[in-house]
Amino acid sequence: MSHGIDLERARAETPGVGHVVHLNNCGAGLMPTPVLAAVTDHLRLEAEIGGYEAHAAREAEVEAGYDSIAAMLNCARDEIAVVENATVGWDMAFYAMTFAPGDRIVTGSAEYGSNYIAYLQMARRTGAEIVIAPDDDSGQIDVAGLEAMLDERVKLISITHAPTSGGLVNPAVEIGRVARRHGIPYILDACQSVGQMPLNVEEIGCDVLSATARKFLRGPRGMGFVYVRRALAERLEPPFLDNHAATWTSLDTIEIRPDARRFENWESYIAGKLGQAVAVDYALSWGLEAIRARVDGLACDIRDRLAALPGVVVHDLGRVKSGIVGFSVGDRDPLAVKAQLAEQGINITTSGQASTRIDMERRGLALINRLGVHYYNSEAEVDRFIEAIQRLAPA
């Protein structure tokens, strides 16, 4: 079930597997040795010669990171901004958009909490309305139903690709076709999909795509990026500017950068930028199709084996699924399940209503357990996890 992945090499290059069964890649993946080295080597260099001087010495590698992200997404390097995290990237694009009373933002029922909070704030500020697209019988966004909602009032379609609470993967490409047909800007939150599956922004048709380094890309925390299609970026003025995003051209004039770096700011985590760049190159070296196949195989095996256990319920939706698995173990407190597994050296996590309130309230869920597998996880680790859940499951 390796799907072209050299598991022995992947694990040899992942120091963390010697300490823990890490099934929380949906929270933060274990960094491989090249990423760890990129971050620590640069921090050491900063300590030795100074922060500005270290940046200057590594400028070419920092710039190459934009090319790597562009290659992964199939876009131009001037359409990429490297930022502190996915939420900052998403916010910088979203809050640059203008809305008026009666304008509509169309999103999905499994939308991520941080994004929905931004919609609510924008609605209060401007009088815009938030509209939820219907789901089909599998739980994914009903594309035909979404299209039927579109009229001149809709100014944005904004969707989470792989929601936080389970295996659902929304039909991003099909939604993109609808958005293009109607000439409506389209934001895709790819925080949980980047690094575990191929993403081609030309095929998807999105105008904005936000992502993080720390999850399935296996990069450092505190890093992310946002793609903004050139034609849209040129029309958006970011919610704040500094002397990186714009130039002070005279006493009372400024000139905003022409590229997506208008969404960045001057001070940045250079070690993190280097680590993220290496993480992207590392993922590309394995091949994102091969990664997806491996992740899909492991996640499918876990879903099937969990569903076969008495009292265990798998909560995943959708026709196409990701490497994230949401589940409950009888009436056991998900926090207690997480803690009991941690005592056995197994990392999983939980997902609650604050992260995806509409979806979980509709399904009567307050808090569930969640895991995310990756290509470096072994079948033996899956066995160990299933055996641990079996001991917790009601007889």
Please tell me the distance from the alpha carbon of residue 360 to that of residue 357, in angstroms, as a whole number.
Answer: 5
At 147, which helix (H) or strand (E)?
helix 143-148
CA-only gyration radius of the chain, Å: 21
Place of tokens 């207690």: 336
Token pair listed for 50: 């100074």
Place of tokens 């995943």: 316
In a 3-state reduction of DSSP, which class is residue 94?
Answer: helix
Distance of CA 385 to the CA centre of its chain: 25
CA–CA separation, 275 and 198 (whole Å): 20
Distance, in Å, from the CA atom of 46 to the CA atom of 163, rounded to the nearest integer, reads 38
CA distance linking residue 48 with residue 75, whole number of Å: 36
Is-contact 182 207, C-beta < 8 A?
A: no
Q: Which CATH class is domain 35-285?
A: alpha beta
* 332 and 183 Cβ atoms separated by less than 8 Å: no
How many angstroms separate the CA atoms of 105 and 125, rounded?
Answer: 14
**Tokens found for residue 87:** 């939420």
DSSP 260-326: GGGGS-S---HHHHHHHHHHHHHHHHH-HHHHHHHHHHHHHHHHHHHHTSTTEEE---SSSB-SEEE
pLDDT tens for the chain, 395 residues: list them. Answer: 566 899 999 999 999 999 999 999 999 999 999 999 999 999 999 999 999 999 999 999 999 999 999 999 999 999 999 999 999 999 999 999 999 999 999 999 999 999 999 999 999 999 999 999 999 999 999 999 999 999 999 999 999 999 998 899 999 999 999 999 999 999 999 999 999 999 999 999 999 999 999 999 999 999 999 999 999 999 999 999 999 999 999 999 999 999 999 999 999 999 999 999 999 999 999 999 999 999 999 999 999 999 999 999 999 999 999 999 999 999 999 999 999 999 999 999 999 999 999 999 999 999 999 999 999 999 999 999 999 999 998 86
3-class state of residue 18 by DSSP? helix
Domain-by-domain residue ranges, the chain?
Answer: 7-28+287-392, 35-285
Distances (CA, A) of 107 to 97, 111, 317: 16, 7, 17
Give the class (CATH, top level) of 7-28+287-392: alpha beta
Judge whether 389 and 309 are in contact, CB under 8 Å.
Answer: yes
In angstroms, the CA 282 to CA 184 distance is 34
